[in-house]
Amino acid sequence: MLRLSILDQSIGTSGRPHGQAIRDTLAMAKLCDELGYDRFWVSEHHNHPTILGTAPEILIAAIAATTQRIRVGAAGIMLPHYSPFKVAEQFRVLDAMAPGRIDLGLGRAPGSDGRTAFALNPMANERPAQFPADVRDLMAWVSATPLPEGHPFASLRAFPEGDTVPEFWLLGSSDYGAQVAAHFGLPYCFAWFFTDGRGGAEALKLYRDNYQPSDRHREPHSALCVWAMAAETREEAEYHYASRAKWQLYRSQGVFGPLDPPDVALAHSYTKAEAAKIEDLKRRAFIGTGPDVAARIRNLAEEQGVQEIAIVTWATDEIARRKSYEILAKEFALEAAERLS
């Protein structure tokens, strides 16, 4: 049965204090816990006027303390910015707070521009090349297993130790993450929403074809993250999607900023080429009524052979965003009941 999760990016919107985006993330996590979603992931971006979630490890702690059953994690920690040992300590503390409910998703991309990457780590040019070794070391410290013989830090232990271990994921929007996930025998999630699907099928095939079984994951386990907006009518879903469409259009031109309300986006003066691009984006977007969006999600999961789907939804109207997740939770709960009957 398809597992359904959430990616929340604490989106900045025009005219709203940045702090509200973080508080909205905390409130959304509690709702998704109640609705029955499997995981609630938060992302890491820096110096980004739209995506305000800069410290996932702090958000995860707050969410874990205020939820009951949902898994909570990072999608992901951008490992080249950090010492793997420090990340291991952070996630050992998180696992102690919510044993067996913590996910540690890892990415190699900076989640920022080049200058910001250097501000985070003066060795920004060298660190990405060490990503596989950093993943190996981090996994060993988090799970209290030995590092390779002769490793200079083999005697170090990441405290607090415990009986449970965070679940590791590799995240990506290219072939690279798929190869690293396959090498270490880890679950893999492709950012379908980021590439509009480009390269997704190829990355998933590469992951499966090269998968090396691990003690925890004997078989490959894959997921996709998609952008989706469900509403009572398609017209309502398209209305709220207008904010996202305008942002996507200008992102492709290198222009970033807070999300505009739908009325502002719809009233914007677009060129003919821009208007055509937005119509193309709309045709490919996962927007519509609950049954329509749920069908699109199920079909994509079946086509790509994935076991999980994570949903990310942007909207300036927080009530509409909550409603979208409520509608989809109901659709998939109904599907589960039908299969069991």
Q: Which domain holds residue 116?
A: 3-233+290-340
Residue 335 covered by a domain? yes
Residue 285: inside a domain, yes or no? no
Rounded Cα distance, 38 and 53, in Å: 21
pTM of the model: 0.95
Q: Give the DSSP H/E element, type plus range, for residue 242.
A: helix 234-251
Total tally of structural domains belonging to the chain: 1
Using one digit for the tens of pLDDT, what is the confidence trace for 78-120? 999 999 999 999 999 999 999 999 999 999 988 889 999 999 9
Model confidence pLDDT, tens digit, residues 272-296: 999 999 999 999 999 999 999 999 9
Instruction: Please check whether residue 41 is in contact with residue 9, taking contact to mean a CB–CB distance below 8 angstroms.
Output: no
What are the pLDDT digits (tens) for 296-331? 999 999 999 999 999 999 999 999 999 999 999 999
- Asked if residue 277 belongs to a domain, the reply is no
In a domain, 56, yes or no: yes
Nearest alpha-carbon partner for 240 in 221, 219, 261, 226? 261
> Helix, strand, or coil here: 206?
helix
**Which SS3 state, helix, strand or coil, does residue 222 take?**
strand
What are the tokens at 280? 């193309």
Within 10 angstroms of residue 218's Cβ, the number of other Cβ atoms is 10
CA dihedral over 264, 294, 207, 202, signed as positive or negative:
negative
The answer to whether residue 265 sits within a structural domain is no
What CATH number corresponds to the domain at position 219? 3.20.20.30
pLDDT in tens, 187-212: 999 999 999 899 999 999 999 999 99
Beta-sheet strands, E only, within the chain: 3-8, 39-42, 71-78, 102-107, 167-172, 188-190, 222-231, 286-289, 308-312
